[in-house]
Structure formats: structure tokens, C-alpha cells
Structure 1
């Protein structure tokens, strides 16, 4: 085995190429990919717009794929895994030439955790990027039990995790989503629901006097969501390049996902115990990645698309 298939982007659409199979170095593992999630950020990578966001240099191509579920097939020196371990991981670096949407991927062991037992790989592959983003955004919001959190895009993949994890932390969640998503987001743990067509700030302040303590703006609403936050509250953006003025003494910040094996292991535990819902919209083979990208770009999905090598 010397070569493998991998997806690269940077010129507008994903391209399937043949590249050498990577080797695991010290404190790394090589994973035989069973499933790899497709995220909105993959569309930006494929389009070659990372440099415009100021998060990567302008390169001819970039490896595609952040989420992986699969089986460890090579262990580097010092990595605390064994060949045959079922794992999930996050390929967080943006400029790697080959990433998770491939037959094999090499990751630092610090970006990998054992997969939730009894969960199909396609479902497990939806955990890392979205789950870690939600976890880290909630940490940054810094709320205590009983405080109020606004989540925009609450029916989406990241938004759904935000609602569930916030409810597990004892937060009172105001969920913003499409009018047909109320039952879904309430089932995830939202106490209040606001349709995205409503006057957001007015609707939220009618539910929570003075405004919510924090907002995680997964839907990139911006100022309309910031206006729903109380004076001195916290506004967390998940989109690179989005910068708002910290009006009324608010703490305006952004969170960009990072790999964290301990957090990933805790997310897997929550899945195993039935406290975190996994949603797969559909699966595609690697050679149909362009179809998956087009479907994601068209919007309206509830759950993640997943590539299955």
C-alpha cells in the first residue's frame, strides 16, 4: 500500500486525487477513515477563500475534511492508542495538504479520542468539529447555572449541540430557528423558542427581561442578536472575520475550534449515555463529494452530510 485517495480544494470544487499514504510520527496515529463529515467550513476551504478570512495563507490547494471516525492502523511512538482502536478525531489545522476526507489520515494523538461504543461511524463522524465548537463557545460565554443563553441557528448541527450542551449545564436557552423547528429545538432542551422571522431583540427581551446573559451566534445574525444581549453580557461569534462593536459594555468575542482530546472524550461519553443526539442527513462516497458540497450549499439540512470512503 503506497498510495490512497484524498480530497483537496482551493479552486472552487473538491477534487479527488491520488497521494502517498501518510506515516504516523511520534505522538501521532494513522486512522483508516470509515467516515468524514462535511461542514460549511469545507465549502470555504474548497472555494479557496481562507486567505480572505485571514485564517490561512493563499495556497494552490488545501486538504479537505475536519471530522473523522475510523480505526487506528498505525501508532507513532508515545501515542496512547493501539492498532484496532475505534476513534474519532479533529483535523484542525487549515493548511495541511491532506486531511480527513481521504482513505487515511494522520492526526496528533491529542486530537483523537475513542469513539462512542455502539455508534455507527457515519454518526460518530459528526461529533468532533461541531461538538467541540459548541463546547468551547459555551466555555467562552462563561455562564452559570440558571443564566439565559440565546442560540441562533439552533436547529443546525452546531446549534443543536449548543442547545443540548447548554441545557446539560443548567442554562436557560432561547432558541432561534425556522418556524417548523420549534418541536426539534424544544426537544433538545430549549426553554423558549423564537422564529427567525421575528424581531429578534424585541422577542427575546419579551421573554427575558433586560436581555439574555449571552448569545452564541451560530447563524451569523450579528447586530440583531447582539441587541438581544443585556448590557455587559457576552456575544460569541463562530465565524472568522465577523467583528462587532462591543456596544453597551458587552464582551464581543469569537471562537475558532481547536482539537481537545479530553473534551472529545466527554462528548463521546455523552453520546454513549444518550444525552447528546447525533444527526446524519445523508452519506456519499468520496467520488461524490462535489454533490455533497452542492447539497450543503443549497441549505435547509437538518444534520450533517458524511463521506464514506
Structure 2
């Protein structure tokens, strides 16, 4: 590849973006869809670097340094802060995009746009239909089905997938040669195909230890017959969003592993996976975590 993307996997997808640059066929709006921590935001930000930097992402110029710090005047970043994207924010964004700018492009990076309320989405729609010159939108989403159809029809959708475990092992081995092979293999297993999780685990031994304990606990948890025991187990997690996300990820991995190995379970595995996915969806749409988790416990 011509550029340095700092991404694990997704070679075909990234090559497609490079081809867009080379051919001059850059879309005015992209939507990167896929699971959490697989590289969507990293690719979006790297794409912005490449487009804005005069040296195609040199890492050292003022433009690159500003984008890295989310301080570039013509590269506007909306990180997911756990709150909805409201119409006033979109109106302010549109006003900003209509101002003149010295940069090559005006780029908007918006993380997890399923957070956008309908009024904000409708407000954005006209700008997507008739974007200001040299304006590029780079959106990400965890839930493609939750995006307004009218917005979907005006963006180029690129789907991200989990990274194969062997690719993750190879990448971590190259990046962390001082880490022993057994640790890297275990971290790659716990990361569940998410490079962002792998980096968190390898850089935080305590987090890795907590993950190992959680994995063991959840193996036993699935065999609990008592609803009371299940509710008791999740009670301490209901106010910890990170732990809830970890629980759902690890449950998904355990269920998939059992399905592949043919291990018996009281409910169809596909049904259980659908329930876990739906719980993730509810939590991302601000449903009460306690109610969402209790509903899951009753149905898996």
C-alpha cells in the first residue's frame, strides 16, 4: 500500500480507499459500519490525515499534529461521549461547513451516528444531498440497521469485520517482541477479533487479569439454572458500562465456541446470540442497563 494506515486487518477495504484517492473518486460521505474497537475510527482519522496532509500523512507537519489532537480547524471530530447528537449540534456544524477554509478539504468525522436523534438526521440530510464544495463526511456506526434509510442512500457504506485471531497474533508479536507467545495468544483469544481490545489488554496487565477472571466466571455463569443466581451475578455490573460491554463480548465468544464444538445447551445458540446482539443494541440506545441485562438473563 502507498500509505501507512496503522490498522490491523481490513486490507481490501483500506486498498479501496487508496484507490478512491488515486482515481479521484472520493465519495462525499462514507459510513464505516461494524463492531466496536475493530478500527473504524482509526481508519476514518487516518483517511482524514492522508487527505489533509500535503505529504500524504507525514506524522510531523502542523496539519498532522493538529488532526492527531482533534484540533485541526477544518477536520471536525465528534467522538462518542455517550450522549445523543442533537439538532443544535448539526446546525452549528452546517454553519461551520459553510464558512471559507484554507485547507484542501473540510472533513467531518462522526463516531457512532446511530446516536443522532431523528431531527438532527433530517437536518443533516439536505447537506448530504448538496454538500458544500470539498466537504467529506466520515461516519461510523455499530448498528447499520439503526441508520435512517434516507441517510444510508446518500453514503458509501464500508463494512468492517472482526480481525482473524491469527492475524492479531502476528501483529501483536511484531509490535510487542518482549511479550511471550503464550500471553499474546491468550490476549488475542480474549480480544475476540477486536484489535482495540487487544491493545488495551496488552498495555494493562490488571485489565488482562480481570478479563481472564471474567472469562472463567462467565463459563460457569452459562450453566447457572437459577435466575436468582444470574441476577445476583450481574447486579454489580449494572452501573459499569465497560464491564457490561466486556460481559456481552465474552458471552458472545463463549456461545460461538460452544456452537462450533457442538456442546449441548438448553437453548438454540443462534437464538442466544440474537438476544445478546439485541441487548447491545438496547444499551447503545440508552435503555436502562438493569432492565436490559435482566431481560437478557431471562432469555438465554
Q: Hey, which of these two has a bigger chunk of strand by percent?
A: 1
Tell me whether the two structures share a fold, i.e. TM-score over 0.5: no
TM-score, length-scaled by structure 1: 0.30
TM-score, length-scaled by structure 2: 0.31
